[in-house]
Amino acid sequence: MHIYIDADACPVKDEALKVAERHGIPITFVSNSWMRLPESALVSRVVVQEGPDAADNWIAERIGPKDICVTQDIPLASRCLKAGARAIGNTGKPFTDASIGMALAMRELSQHLRETGESRGFNAAFTKQDRSRFLEAMEHAVHAIKRSG
C-alpha cells in the first residue's frame, strides 16, 4: 500500500501524512517544483520536469491496486481507478467507477463554458468540514484496502 499526493496546490498534505503515519504507509508527494513538506521517515518527494501533466503521468505510471491517490485532477483520478487504485479529492470526495464518467463530463462542460466566456469558473473556499471529510475518506480507503487482503 502506498499513498501518492498530487501535491501542487493540495491543501491536505498534513492530513494525508497523519493517516499515513497512523497506519505506517509510505507517502510520496509529487510536484512540479520543490516545496516544503512535513518531515517523516515515510515521506518521499518527487519533483518532476516542468510541463503539462508531468506529475500526473509520474503517478499514473506507478500507482497500483492497493494504492491511494489524492488529487483534484479528474483525468488523473480516472487513470488511477483504471489501474485498480483508489482516488480521493482534496475535499474528501472519493472518485469511483460509478462517478468518474459524470465528473469527466462536467469537467469538459465547465472547460467549454470558460473558453466561450459563458462562465468565469468558481472555486469554493476550502473549509474545516472539507478537512474532516478528507480525513474520514482516507481512513475509510485505508481500512477498505486492508480488508480486501
Kindly give, in sequence order, each residue whose CB lies less than 8 Å from that of residue 12, ignoring residues fewer than 6 positions away.
Answer: 70, 90, 131, 134
pLDDT band at 9; cut points 50, 70, 90: confident
Instruction: List, in order of start, the domains of the chain with CATH numbers.
Output: 3-147 (3.40.50)
Write the pLDDT tens digit of every residue in 51-63.
889 999 999 999 9
Q: Which residue has the higher pLDDT, 43 or 121?
A: 43
Indicate yes or no: pTM above 0.75: yes
Assign 139 a pLDDT band (cuts: 50, 70, 90): very high
Grid cell at residue 13: 498534505
Distance CA 95, CA 9 (A): 18
